[in-house]
Structure 1
């Protein structure tokens, strides 16, 4: 009888250890999500007070580059008559945009070859990298927010796009307001 009890006690201890590990993991995820929310809140609040494309250019890059492994940020605004060319914002006609960006209908995150990265960001990387391409549209404003990393795993296909989709919606409204 005592061997049955000691066996069950051992099983309960193992289960208890597993539950503790799961709980610790949930707390860590909660802390990361809270940090991401605080960062996102700060970004959105800064975007809400953005008054012009120069300020948008600075805000997008400075806030997005705070994230781990973000190397390049480029906001494409599709227009008929380009007039703005800043460090991180391009007013561009559809004929001048990489064809891949024009046909986007949803956010994609993927690993890319060096030449694909260069075609989007006009920046050379040593080998493969990754990017998130976030199409946006609001009223008569349409474009793509491109976020790149020289780290292939940063925007691998398993990245959830909920945050990125929300960011695209906010950016679209800001661009519409300041255009």
Structure 2
């Protein structure tokens, strides 16, 4: 008969051995973490350490996403190269923005002077529409004034005239809002503002002129060009100039 009396003792010895091994592993891990903190603290307190031990930089290995490792010095070189490229890109963008702002200023200055020199509504309209088309590359621009107009109001040139009641029926919500709006308009709004070009306008910006004077509208065949988030400061600025200029020109007609 086989004697099994020692089996429980053997199992107990194995379990005890495993427990000791786990305890040793745990202690080893704690020691490594403690040592890592000590090393990190030392390096923070001695930032010139590697300057005095340059040979260590090549021996320190860092993991990469590809699974390979590179030296700390190589990692720093790559990091500096990436930052240099990013800074160059930012600088290029700043320079481009500066050039764009210079062009915007020059075009705006030329437009404002042309509007101030206009002696009739037709001349003002021609200056506005020509500048928007040639300088600002706007696809579609309309300036609509609401009748009845001061004076005769006959010499309007490319400036459109519309009864206020027609405007209320077509773009009443835009007029009541009183602020520049951008985005995709309703078909009836687009048709009223852009006439024969309405079917080509996919997005627009509309500037109601104060005092029930009229409305300035610009459009694009690109549905994303005039988004609701677009900065409308420039268009509002031109609208304010027209609000001050047009009443006097209409009175002279």
Report the TM-score when normalising by structure 1.
Answer: 0.85
> Corresponding residue for 1:89?
159
Counting only pairs closer than 5 Å after superposition, residues 25-40 of structure 1 correspond to structure 2 as 25-40=93-108
Is there any run of 5+ residues in structure 2 with no aligned partner, and where?
1-56, 59-70
Is the contact between residue 141 and residue 176 of structure 1 (CA under 8 Å) also seen in structure 2? Answer: no
Question: What secondary structure sits across from 1:21 in the alignment?
Answer: helix
1:41-80 correspondence runs (5 A)? 41-66=109-134, 67-68=136-137, 70-80=138-148
CA distance, structure 2, for counterparts of residue 42 and residue 161 of structure 1: 19
State the match for 1:173 in structure 2.
244
**Greater per-residue helix proportion:** 2
User: Bigger radius of gyration, 1 or 2?
Assistant: 2
Structure with a larger share of its residues in strand = 1
Q: Is the 8 A contact 2:205 2:218 kept in 1?
A: yes
SS of structure 2 residue aligned to 1:51: coil
- The 5 Å alignment of 1:114-153 reads 116-126=189-199, 129-137=202-210, 140=211, 142-153=213-224
Could you tell me which residue of structure 2 aligns to residue 17 of structure 1? 85
Cα separation, partners in 2 of 1:114 and 1:141, compared to 1, 3 Å? closer
Distance 1:71 1:147 in 2: 8
RMSD of the alignment, in Å? 2.3
Instruction: Work out whether residues 122 and 157 of structure 2, in 8 Å CA contact, stay in contact via their aligned partners in 1.
Output: no
Q: What secondary structure, in the 3-state scheme, does the structure 2 residue paired with 1:147 have?
A: strand
Find the counterpart in structure 1 of residue 182 from structure 2. 109
Paired residue secondary structure (1:145) = strand
* TM-score, L = length of structure 2: 0.62
Q: Which moved more, 1:127-136 or 1:20-29?
A: 127-136
How far is the alpha carbon of 1:148 from its aligned partner?
Answer: 1.8
Q: How many pairs are equivalent?
A: 176
Identify unmatched segments of 5+ residues in structure 1. none
1:14 is displaced (CA, Å) by 0.8
- CA shift, 1:5, in A, is 2.0
Q: Is 81-90 or 24-33 further displaced after alignment?
A: 81-90
Q: Distance in 2 between matches of 1:128 and 1:54?
A: 24
Structure 1 residue 141, shift from structure 2 partner = 6.0
